[in-house]
Chain A
Amino acid sequence: MTLPIQLLWVIPALPLLAASIGALTPRSGRKLAAGTAIVAMAAAFLVSCSALLGALAEPAKHAFYNFAWFDLGASSVRLGWLLDPLTAFMCVMVTFVGLLIFIFSTGYLREDENFARFFCFLSLFAAAMLGLLVANSLLLLFVCWELVGLASYLLIGFWFHKPAAAAAAKKAFITTRIGDLGLLLGMLWLYDSTGSLLFYDAGQGILEPDTLGALAAQTTIGGLAVSTAIGLLVFCGAIGKSGQFPLQVWLPDAMEGPTPVSALIHAATMVAAGVFLIARVYPLMAADQALAGVPFHALTVVAGIGAITALLGAVIAVGQNDIKRVLAFSTVSQLGYMMLALGVGSWTAAIFHLLTHAFFKALLFLGAGSVIHAAHHEQDIRLLGGLRGPMRLTFLTFAIGTMALAGVPFLFSGFWSKEGILHAAHGWSVSPLPLYAGLAAVVLTAFYMTRLVAEVFFGSPRSHSAEHAHENPAVMTAPLTLLAVCAVALGFVGTPAWPWLQARLNGQTAVYGHSLLEGGGLMILSIVLVALGLGAGWAIYARRPRVSQTSVDPLAANAPRLFAALGARLGFDEFYAATFGRMTAATATFADGLDRYVFDGAIRFLIRLGEFAGLVNRETDEDLLNGGFDAGSEALRSAGKGYSRAQTGDAHSYLRVAAIGFVLLVLIIMLGGLR
């Protein structure tokens, strides 16, 4: 059964309903809140599957349904739903991965007193993400985009009594909002030049050829096409949300949230939103491709930022000692790959990697959560170790996730999706640098993941918490198992031999054949690089496992300063604090000082001037005028006394008299007028 397009809103509405119920549930209603959240998510999954069936029947079609939100001028501001294979695949992924994370959370947060609230926020997160996916309007997408930001704020700061969590939540919101302002400006520009924000609207939409042609034909500052400038502004939003360089700083801090939240942020929602946004507005981003003589194309910037991010994330991940932070930087790096793929023109490779990554990254984060939960919230890999035995299932699934992420050949989904990206980068005519960055990141990825696995699961336990760790209940391991199956199986829908997924995303119903040997040299090279990374990691970390918490990391022993710099995330936070942080503080001080000293000073001066005039007035009245009459008139003396009593110099009593006089005057005039 396929879903009518008018009812597409049901997908986000289901978790939204669960969120509203959760918001009104008291703290004691744990089962109710978790139950509704899970049931709603499962239902949304089923509805998404039905939507997917509908989309696959006509993969080239962008089915939409638009409606008016409110009147504006002669027309109205319109929103709409959109269903195409991109939306449908993403919805299925988000609801499925989300559902498993929800189930896992019932175990992970079993002892938390705000359990009910947690499921409310999770549902809100999922609802906002799904709303973003089904939106047929950049405005509606932006609305959901900001709500995704809100939900992540609430969840990162879920343990709000911890100052670090509260600070991380704020940092995430502010950092992403910096990017969002770019997106907002891009949106305003689009709205102003096209009069619409609908993606598809029977030829009038902003992603349809007529509009795009007009946008690409105009030029703006710096000789750029208007479509390029708008595309870059929109990309700013994606940079913030997807943790791309130079706004990647919030993502590692977001680890302060409970681990299922990290899984959700890093796999299904939030960071995926940025890549999805660029994928959604891809016709806009690519509108300037045909233009010659422009300084650069929008997608070139996307590719450059993606390549830098892919390499940067992988480099920094090598020096992290927190299990979640290693994974966080690996997300940064992998999102860089996806942007790189979009930038070099391989839309399908990016989406394929987005989907496979969602599964294996959710698997890795939930695996990390399983470890952390078992080890009494110990996250430092130097204090873990030896968990291979007591946590067999977690270890196995984590290993599968690792191999998928590292791109171990043939059996694992990550290999196929990453191969697609590397091949696309290889075919890019503008510059070979993204390919080199991607290849370098391949080695590093395999290396830091091996290091992570070796430190956590091999050797011997190096702390009391790690010694007493034991496997978690089925409610937590079952999602791991399912995700592990997906991390393997998903690769086979997109192999070069049978590129079913890519074909559907491209809008083709028939699957065309592809030679496995095409670009075979590159595939061999990347397999070698993976082997190199794995082997080096194994040699350095697994063959001689760490013996105590304090023993020096082998890398640190050889290059202490480099390792320390990596551990300090190359100083981005410090740099921003020293520049933007100071600038903000200085502006605030300036604005406040202006008020306190300049403007308020001017007012005080005027008041003093007024008081001085009053004083002069009183003195002249009393000494020069009253003085003359005082001697002469006994009758006026009492009145004079009363008058001088009134002249207290107290502004308030003046004012009171003035007010009474004013009211009397008003009354006289009004009565006079009525007569």
Chain B
Amino acid sequence: MNSLPLLSLIVFTPLAGAVILGLLRGLNPATSRALALFFSLSTLGLGLAAVTGFDPAQTSAQFVERHEWISAFNAHYHLGLDGLSLVLVLLTGVVTPTALLASWTVSRNPRLFGSLFLGLQGAALGVFLALDFFHWFLFWELSLAPAFFLIKLWGGPGSSRAAYQFVVYTIGGSAFMLLGFAAIFAASGTLDFVQLAQLATEGTLGARLAAIGGWWPQAVFLGVLLGLAVKVPLWPFHTWLPPAYAEAPTGVSMFLTGVMSKMGLYGFLRILWPLFPAQLHDASGWLRWLALAGVILGAFAAMRQTNLKRMIAYSSLNHLSYCLLALFAVSAATGRAGMSSDASTAALSGTILQIFNHGLSAAALFFCVGILESRARGAVAIGLNDFGGVRTDAPIFSGLCGVALFSSLGLPGLNGFVGEFLIFRGVFGLDPWAAGLACLGLLATALFMLTFWQRVFHGPRAGATLGGFSDLRGVEYAPLVPLVALMFILGVAPQLLAHLINPLVTSWAGHLTLP
């Protein structure tokens, strides 16, 4: 294999950047911003380097680094990358620099801001690449500290409470996950995801946990589920999300929804599903209803929000619930006679594409709301009714924001459609009624997105727009243009992403069995 530890470089370059920025006390704001951007861009560069060396046909982890680490826990330093990880690394590589560019105007201590942001990025990358629970969990928890301070120190007026709730809620969830893995370690003696997945496929993992006590497999499953469910979030564990997204500064909201919510989904696909196939199968019957509730009630709740950031936050709940719905539908149908593997392939492919596409569109939408916020001159909350006729004064901003909006509501030709179509195609094949009900979410999304568009951009000038509304200028183009360009590119040529994940997903769908 390659002698260069590519994956370690991917994870530790942003972390090194965080340390450097943290230590260079006297750095001026401009240099701090440039340095942070430089380090955050490393992920995209190294991620693309990984794409060139990546063999999609090989479905096991590539670029593997595995070293002895803490023998007491049998913990290894184990990094690896497959199609799923690669997509997430690329997403992080796109979203983080744009989020930093969106934070270009942050004037309060940009050095610390950049340092924390890079820490957040490194932790997320660690989660996407770690294959051993020990440091996976370290990265998982490590991401909370910078997120907490970024929300609290740079956020809106209610940010203290929101940050507190966000962290306590997530830690509360992960505590159960930690306990669960303690039990797993006690039962199996390993924390390596690959080995654990192997054990799970053979059915030994469940058997060994059951040896501790009859209900242990279920309890451990629930613990891990809870930790992940809060992070995504799965309805009804989502109430930390709207305030956190709404109070966070724009760039951080972009990262939270673009990347951090994907950590939870990644956990579902990398840990919960492979390690607990039987338990997830048993639970999917009712988990499916929760995902459906997220799809439908998330979209309907968005309709009621007058705070635009809360509205986009609820729309994220709706979009991520599609991914969970697809996974649960596949899991529920596993082992059923005559189950269509084509449908499973579609559902799982759609999930991964949706993960990437939602990252782009939600980040772009949060940025657009941030622009509105910056133009509102100190309005307390950015309300649906505080603007009007923005399109008259700012046609370029409106055009780009419109693309992001239509991408988010799944317009064909833009990126969002392909993922949603595949999810619906898969879920329909596995569970037609769920797909039919989920259509309500599509309709409600169109309703609130277009209401947002109508109130803010159309009509006569009103509210904050009355005094004029300046169009995008200078660095404000920098986050939006690449995101919108990617929406078009991936909408027309989804093959760019699909070819990276298709063999992996096909192999998943081909090996759906219950132990």
Interface residues of A (CB under 8 A from B): 23, 27, 69-74, 117, 139, 142-144, 146-147, 150, 157, 160-163, 165-167, 169-170, 173-174, 177-178, 181, 184-185, 188-189, 191-192, 195, 584, 587-592, 594-595, 599-600, 603, 607, 610, 651-652, 655, 659, 662-663, 666, 669, 672-674
Q: Which of B405-449 contact A (CB under 8 A)?
A: 406, 411-413, 417-418, 421-422, 424-425, 428-429, 432, 435-436, 439, 442-444, 446-447
Q: Which of B342-380 contact A (CB under 8 A)?
A: 342-343, 345-346, 349
A673 touching B300 in the complex, CB below 8 Å, given contacts A71-B495, A71-B499, A603-B239: no
A166 touching B454 in the complex, CB below 8 Å, given contacts A71-B499, A143-B412, A161-B392: yes
A568 to B282, CA, bound (A): 55
- Would you call A599 and B239 a contact (CB within 8 A)? yes
A195 to B345, CA, bound (A): 13
- Would you call A142 and B391 a contact (CB within 8 A)? no
Instruction: Name the residue of chain A whose CB is nearest to the CB of B141.
Output: A662
Instruction: Name the residue of chain A whose CB is nearest to the CB of B497.
Output: A70
Choice from B69, B148, B239 contacting A600 with Cβ under 8 Å: B239
Min distance, Cβ A3 to any Cβ of chain B, angstroms? 23
Instruction: Name the residue of chain A whose CB is nearest to the CB of B145.
Output: A659
- Would you call A603 and B411 a contact (CB within 8 A)? no
- Would you call B509 and A73 a contact (CB within 8 A)? yes
Q: Say yes or no: is B301 at the interface (Cβ < 8 Å to chain A).
A: yes
- Would you call B417 and A160 a contact (CB within 8 A)? no
- Would you call A584 and B502 a contact (CB within 8 A)? no
Q: Say yes or no: is B204 at the interface (Cβ < 8 Å to chain A).
A: no
- Would you call B443 and A181 a contact (CB within 8 A)? yes
Interface residues of B (CB under 8 A from A): 69-72, 75, 138, 141-142, 145, 148, 152, 160, 164-165, 167-169, 236, 238-240, 242, 296-298, 300-301, 303-305, 340-343, 345-346, 349, 389, 391-392, 395, 399, 406, 411-413, 417-418, 421-422, 424-425, 428-429, 432, 435-436, 439, 442-444, 446-447, 450-451, 453-454, 457-460, 493-495, 498-499, 502, 505-506, 509
Show 19 A/B contacts (Cβ-Cβ < 8 Å), sorted by A: A27-B395, A70-B495, A71-B495, A71-B499, A73-B345, A144-B412, A160-B458, A163-B458, A163-B460, A165-B458, A170-B453, A174-B446, A174-B450, A177-B443, A181-B443, A592-B305, A594-B301, A610-B168, A655-B148
Instruction: Name the residue of chain B whose CB is nearest to the CB of A74.
Output: B506
Q: Which residues of A contact B242 (CB under 8 A)?
A: 595
A71 touching B498 in the complex, CB below 8 Å, given contacts A163-B459, A603-B165, A652-B160: yes
- Would you call A591 and B460 a contact (CB within 8 A)? no
A471 to B438, CA, bound (A): 54
- Would you call B341 and A73 a contact (CB within 8 A)? yes
Instruction: Name the residue of chain B whose CB is nearest to the CB of A197.
Output: B425
Q: Which residues of A contact B349 (CB under 8 A)?
A: 72-73
Min distance, Cβ A512 to any Cβ of chain B, angstroms? 42
A161 to B461, CA, bound (A): 8
Q: Which residues of B contact A188 (CB under 8 A)?
A: 424-425, 428-429, 435
- Would you call B138 and A666 a contact (CB within 8 A)? yes
Q: Which residues of B contact A651 (CB under 8 A)?
A: 164, 168
Min distance, Cβ B217 to any Cβ of chain A, angstroms? 27
Instruction: Name the residue of chain A whose CB is nearest to the CB of B447.
Output: A174
- Would you call B301 and A588 a contact (CB within 8 A)? yes
Q: Which residues of A contact B296 (CB under 8 A)?
A: 591
Choice from B168, B303, B305, B432 contacting A607 with Cβ under 8 Å: B168
Given contacts A71-B495, A170-B451, A655-B168, 10 further A-B contacts (CB under 8 A): A174-B443, A177-B446, A181-B442, A192-B428, A590-B297, A592-B300, A595-B242, A599-B238, A655-B167, A672-B70
- Would you call B495 and A591 a contact (CB within 8 A)? no
- Would you call B450 and A588 a contact (CB within 8 A)? no
Min distance, Cβ A115 to any Cβ of chain B, angstroms? 13
- Would you call A189 and B148 a contact (CB within 8 A)? no
- Would you call A69 and B236 a contact (CB within 8 A)? no
A70 touching B435 in the complex, CB below 8 Å, given contacts A146-B412, A600-B239: no
Choice from B236, B303, B389 contacting A584 with Cβ under 8 Å: B303
Give 6 nearest A-B pairs by CB, closest first: A673-B70, A166-B458, A143-B412, A592-B304, A591-B301, A73-B345
Min distance, Cβ A661 to any Cβ of chain B, angstroms? 11
- Would you call A143 and B304 a contact (CB within 8 A)? no
- Would you call B443 and A603 a contact (CB within 8 A)? no
Q: Which residues of A contact B304 (CB under 8 A)?
A: 588-589, 591-592
A603 touching B169 in the complex, CB below 8 Å, given contacts A666-B138, A673-B70: yes
Q: Which residues of B contact A170 (CB under 8 A)?
A: 450-451, 453-454
Min distance, Cβ A74 to any Cβ of chain B, angstroms? 7
A358 to B495, CA, bound (A): 38
Instruction: Name the residue of chain B whose CB is nearest to the CB of A164.
Output: B459
Min distance, Cβ A274 to any Cβ of chain B, angstroms? 17
A192 to B428, CA, bound (A): 8
A161 touching B459 in the complex, CB below 8 Å, given contacts A71-B495, A178-B443, A185-B439: yes
A584 touching B447 in the complex, CB below 8 Å, given contacts A590-B300, A607-B168, A652-B160: yes
Q: Which residues of B contact A589 (CB under 8 A)?
A: 304
A165 to B236, CA, bound (A): 38
- Would you call B413 and A147 a contact (CB within 8 A)? yes
Q: Which residues of A contact B399 (CB under 8 A)?
A: 23
Instruction: Name the residue of chain A whose CB is nearest to the CB of B152.
Output: A652
Q: Which residues of B contact A73 (CB under 8 A)?
A: 341-342, 345-346, 349, 502, 505-506, 509
A185 touching B148 in the complex, CB below 8 Å, given contacts A146-B412, A161-B392, A594-B297: no
- Would you call A161 and B345 a contact (CB within 8 A)? no
- Would you call B447 and A181 a contact (CB within 8 A)? no
Instruction: Name the residue of chain A whose CB is nearest to the CB of B299.
Output: A591
Min distance, Cβ B491 to any Cβ of chain A, angstroms? 9
- Would you call A195 and B342 a contact (CB within 8 A)? yes
- Would you call A595 and B168 a contact (CB within 8 A)? no
Choice from A150, A160, A169 contacting B411 with Cβ under 8 Å: A150
Q: Which residues of A contact B169 (CB under 8 A)?
A: 603
Q: Which residues of B contact A160 (CB under 8 A)?
A: 389, 391-392, 457-459
Instruction: Name the residue of chain A whose CB is nearest to the CB of B495.
Output: A70
Q: Which residues of B contact A72 (CB under 8 A)?
A: 345-346, 349, 422, 498, 502
Instruction: Name the residue of chain B whose CB is nearest to the CB of A587.
Output: B300
Instruction: Name the residue of chain B whose CB is nearest to the CB of A600.
Output: B239
Choice from A173, A181, A189 contacting B439 with Cβ under 8 Å: A181
A674 to B301, CA, bound (A): 50
A333 to B147, CA, bound (A): 59
- Would you call B494 and A69 a contact (CB within 8 A)? yes
A166 to B454, CA, bound (A): 6
- Would you call B300 and A588 a contact (CB within 8 A)? yes
Choice from A185, A655, A673 contacting B436 with Cβ under 8 Å: A185
Min distance, Cβ A122 to any Cβ of chain B, angstroms? 16
A144 to B343, CA, bound (A): 24
Q: Which residues of A contact B429 (CB under 8 A)?
A: 188, 192
Min distance, Cβ A113 to any Cβ of chain B, angstroms? 10
Q: Which residues of B contact A603 (CB under 8 A)?
A: 165, 169, 239-240
Instruction: Name the residue of chain A whose CB is nearest to the CB of B496.
Output: A70
A544 to B464, CA, bound (A): 54
A672 to B70, CA, bound (A): 8
A72 to B499, CA, bound (A): 8
Min distance, Cβ A506 to any Cβ of chain B, angstroms? 32
A188 to B72, CA, bound (A): 52
A674 to B72, CA, bound (A): 11
Chain B CB within 10 A, most for which of A161, A591, A651, A672: A591
Q: Which residues of A contact B498 (CB under 8 A)?
A: 70-72
A659 to B142, CA, bound (A): 9
A566 to B421, CA, bound (A): 41
A403 to B439, CA, bound (A): 44
Min distance, Cβ A163 to any Cβ of chain B, angstroms? 5
- Would you call B148 and A659 a contact (CB within 8 A)? yes
Choice from B298, B395, B425, B450 contacting A173 with Cβ under 8 Å: B450
A662 to B443, CA, bound (A): 45
Instruction: Name the residue of chain A whose CB is nearest to the CB of B135.
Output: A670
Q: Which residues of B contact A659 (CB under 8 A)?
A: 145, 148
Min distance, Cβ A224 to any Cβ of chain B, angstroms? 14
